[in-house]
Chain A
Amino acid sequence: MSILRSTAADLAGSIAAGDVSAREVTQAHLDQIGAVDGAVKAFLHVDTDRALAAADAVDAKRAAGEKLGPLAGVPLAMKDIFTLKGAPTTCGSRILEGWVPPYNSTITDKLLDAGVVVLGKTNMDEFAMGSSTENSGYFTTHNPWDNTRIPGGSGGGSAAALAAFESPLAVGTDTGGSIRQPASVTGTVGVKPTYGATSRYGVVAMASSLDTPGPCARTVLDAALLHSVIAGWDPRDSTSINAPVPDVVGAARHGDVRGLKIGVVTEFGGEGYQPGVEQRFREALATLEGLGAEIVEVSCPHFEYALAAYYLIMPSEVSSNLARFDAMRYGLRVGDDGVNGVEDVMNLTRGAGFGSEAKRRIIIGTYALSSGYYDAYYGSAQKVRTLITRDFDAAFGTVDVLVSPTTPTTAFTIGERVDDPLAMYKADLCTIPSNLAGNCAISIPCGLSPDDGLPVGFQVMAPALADDRLYRVGAALERELTRRWGGGMLDQLADSDAGAYLNLSQAGGVR
């Protein structure tokens, strides 16, 4: 058995059966990080001692005859936005450099309680603002498929860790596409659950009415297993939904789309979409049709205003949320020379500690919320949010799920969009509507674009609290494509010349 190429489900099974120890599994992944992360740069912090201790604890539990959870002993890469007691949490920002949180996020606690082994914290765009990790205050993560390309963002570190076989599981957060777009461009699976289904407690806030933590993995079933571990009501999050978590694992095992009505969003295609992306998307539709789904076109006329509404609502919330970084109780403090007053210290600290995208968004938000402009900008954007929700409601009255490409292009080149904010923002064109409406969505790999050989993502959107439908469609598509390809999407990287540096082809026989 190849540890690195195994699924999380198989690893958990092997650990529970005693075929391999959690320590061996963890060590293998730490070794892979040591071997390839110099090229990929997915991790901001690798927590070797803690990870091995957590693995040993799982092995001890098993030896004592205790029953292990479905992901016990399986390693996970944690986006550096989740607090983890005793480990640095930077959120990709210099303003939080060296901050060690005194508490765990609810999701961190759920993972640790489940025996999941946290390997370390992954790189991200500063405060989750970006589509490439180029806005990280530390360094840019490289796409494992082509190290000159971006891994997506903001959760590019988590997605790259999966694609480089540094970890079989990861967690991210999705405010405008920060789980799904990185999944799309790295050939991995990423899920934005229904807003409120996963707790935001202990997750550094960006735009609170949109932020949604979620699972990342290499297979649909692994994502579902992780989803069921991290989801659920949390009294410490005032917008947490007190409702049962849908049977996402059952849906992922079932994966039957016969009779399912799938709506293709008319507005998400054409100009600005890479031909290879559209080709693979259309082929995936045909595949689903062949599996018994019914495909129809659905128009969502207000989706074309989603990007504009998002880039008003999100910065407005950002300008408010990031006010907490005031240099008083934690984080960076600049200019405290005994002469400067508190306002000067705040001004100097925030000027020095925030990167340019954080500054852009705080300034836009401050402008949009200022008197005289509030109605035209923020007020109008909130109305568009209503119109987008109505489009979804109308669509879900006639179809079970909506689908689109996850993002209009494959991974772009590092540096290509870094000084063109609008071009960068367009990476989130198809993912934003689900954040504004609060429903759920998944990105699943649907092949390599024939024009550049890079992964293409297929997005499925479902109504709020119908997260199981994402896994049903995702599993059906994944099963059929895996059968055709003779392996998973990431096997194609592992066995290719481009993936030779990952050192997986020798060990890759058994899956």
Chain B
Amino acid sequence: MALTAADVARLGELARIRLTDDELAHLAPQLDVILESVASVAAVAAADVPPTSHALPLTNVFRADVVTPSLRAEDVLAAAPAVEDGRFRVPRILAEES
């Protein structure tokens, strides 16, 4: 099932990571080796074995609907890459033509 550099570029796109050509060439064979070794899980994963997503039996956790202290806006914005008028400034979110 050898992954090609193009496959890895596509996965990078899905994961929002721009990979260089060097990275693609380097990653593809490494990922192949890893995927080949982890494929062994299928050998024992019989149909009658239930999956475990979590170590603990989880139930949804609710808290009372009351106002509790939260972070101050200026403390949060202090860590932002760009700020304008007391808000996060982000690059345009729509394409020029669509």
The reply to whether B93 and A380 form a contact with Cβ atoms under 8 Å apart is: no
Binds B, one of A63-71, A233-241, A476-484: A233-241
The reply to whether B51 and A346 form a contact with Cβ atoms under 8 Å apart is: no
Contact of B11 among A103, A340, A363, A386 (CB under 8 A): A363
Known: A239-B56, A239-B58. A102 touches B37 (CB 8 A): no
The reply to whether A345 and B91 form a contact with Cβ atoms under 8 Å apart is: yes
Separation of A372 and B79 alpha carbons in the complex (Å): 39
The reply to whether B35 and A367 form a contact with Cβ atoms under 8 Å apart is: yes
Question: Does A504 interact with chain B (Cβ within 8 Å)?
Answer: no
Interfacial chain B residues near A345, Cβ < 8 Å? 91
Q: Which of B11-27 contact A (CB under 8 A)?
A: 11-20, 23, 26-27
Question: Does A364 interact with chain B (Cβ within 8 Å)?
Answer: yes
User: Chain B's interface: helix, strand, loop or mixed, by majority?
Assistant: loop
B77 nearest CB neighbor, chain A only: A329
Question: Does A106 interact with chain B (Cβ within 8 Å)?
Answer: no
The reply to whether B56 and A305 form a contact with Cβ atoms under 8 Å apart is: no
Question: Does A1 interact with chain B (Cβ within 8 Å)?
Answer: no
Question: Does A180 interact with chain B (Cβ within 8 Å)?
Answer: no
What 1/0 mask marks residues of chain A from 376 to 412 whose CB sits below 8 Å from any chain B CB? 1101111111110100000000000000000000000
Separation of A118 and B82 alpha carbons in the complex (Å): 31
A47: min CB distance to chain B, Å? 18
A341 nearest CB neighbor, chain B only: B92
Known: A102-B75, A333-B82, A342-B93. A362 touches B17 (CB 8 A): yes
18 new A-B contacts, CB < 8 A, other than A308-B40, A382-B51, A385-B52, are A102-B78, A196-B55, A241-B56, A305-B44, A336-B81, A336-B91, A340-B91, A341-B93, A341-B94, A347-B18, A350-B15, A351-B18, A360-B31, A380-B42, A385-B51, A387-B44, A438-B56, A439-B55
Chain B interface residues toward A at CB < 8 A: 3, 8, 11-20, 23, 26-27, 30-31, 33-35, 37-46, 49-56, 58, 61, 63, 71-72, 75-76, 78-82, 88, 90-95
A-B pairs with beta carbons under 8 Å apart, 26 shown = A100-B78, A239-B56, A302-B44, A305-B43, A305-B44, A326-B16, A328-B88, A330-B81, A340-B91, A341-B93, A342-B92, A345-B91, A346-B16, A351-B18, A351-B19, A356-B23, A362-B15, A362-B17, A367-B31, A380-B41, A381-B38, A383-B50, A384-B45, A387-B49, A438-B54, A438-B56
